[in-house]
């Protein structure tokens, strides 16, 4: 599968995750989201940016609890919970947000 962004064709896997992490730009995230009928707001970007920062440091997406805590600090305590993250990313913050962030899909019993 491929995705077309700004005239460039990027390769993805069967589920739409970017094959080459280095090809990611914010426009890629926006395009992936809009293809799935999701318009990214600043709050979505807070999550996506945190995922990317964490991934840079640890080579894995953060655990849900690490993510909710970080988002709670950034956006306010009322948003530091998985219910809020599911409002932002209804298909699951770990999987859907990772996809838009250009990160590989988490595997295992999650």
- Give catalytic residue positions: 109
Regarding 94 and contact with other proteins (CB under 8 A), the answer is: yes
Nearer to other proteins, 16 or 26 (CB): 16
Mark the segment that binds other proteins (CB under 8 A) among 25-33, 44-52, 72-80, 86-94: 86-94
Site for other proteins in 15-34 (CB under 8 A): 15
9 three-state secondary structure: strand
Nearer to other proteins, 2 or 60 (CB): 60
Cα dihedral sign, 39-1-7-103? positive
Q: Which residues contact 77 (CB under 8 A, 6 or more apart)?
A: none
Asked whether 33 and 39 are in contact (CB, 8 A), the reply is yes
**Element (H or E) spanning 31, and its range?**
helix 26-35
Binding site for other proteins (CB under 8 A): 14-15, 57-60, 62-66, 69, 82-83, 86, 91-92, 94-95, 106-110
């Amino acid at each position: 599968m491929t995705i077309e962004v700004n005239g460039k064709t990027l390769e993805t896997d069967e589920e739409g995750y970017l094959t080459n992490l280095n090809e990611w730009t914010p426009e890629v995230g926006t395009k992936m989201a809009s293809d799935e009928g999701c318009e990214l707001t600043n709050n979505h970007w807070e999550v996506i940016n945190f995922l990317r920062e964490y991934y840079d440091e640890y080579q894995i997406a953060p655990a849900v609890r690490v993510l909710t805590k970080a988002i709670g600090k950034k956006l306010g305590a009322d948003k530091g919970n998985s219910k809020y993250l599911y409002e932002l990313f209804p298909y699951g913050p770990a999987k859907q947000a990772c996809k838009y962030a250009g990160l590989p899909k988490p595997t295992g019993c999650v």
